[in-house]
Amino acid sequence: MATSRRIDVEEVGEVTIATFVDKKILDENNIQQIGSQLFALVEEEGRKRIVLDFSNVEYLSSAALGKLITMDKKVKASGGKLRLCSIRPDIYEVFAITKLNKLFDIKDTQEDALQGF
């Protein structure tokens, strides 16, 4: 069974930008697919500089946060860097409440996220 892409991936120089396709990241199956696709960037493709772009995302479940934490660990373990960008204020609030805004390097825009990589 083919899994549909849950992230759009593009290269900007040596940085990989992964933009979430779904507006709502709630469904467990989708979250598993997103996790697999994100992890493959690091594990299979060896990418080290990754920006996760949330500009399309309106809702994010706590299970999805778990995938992001795992992704962060995988990127750091490979000696890479992970940045998040374009997170809506109401979603950012969840990051702030859970203190994940301290774990992740979060930037306002994709341009900001690409600076100084």
Label residue 91 exposed, middle or buried (CB < 10 Å: 0-12, 13-18, 19+): middle
Task: Could you please state the CATH topology (level 3) that the domain comprising 7-114 is classified under.
Answer: Transcription Regulator spoIIAA (3.30.750)
User: pTM of the prediction?
Assistant: 0.95
Q: What is the pLDDT of residue 3?
A: 63
What are residue 20's phi and psi, to 5 degrees? Answer: -70, 135
Q: What is the pLDDT of residue 1?
A: 42
Task: Look up residue 80 and give its DSSP letter.
Answer: -
Distance (Å) of CA 25 to CA 8, 35, 48, 116: 15, 11, 24, 29
* Spans of the chain below 70 pLDDT: 1-3
pLDDT per residue over 35-63, tens digit each? Answer: 999 999 999 999 999 999 999 999 999 89
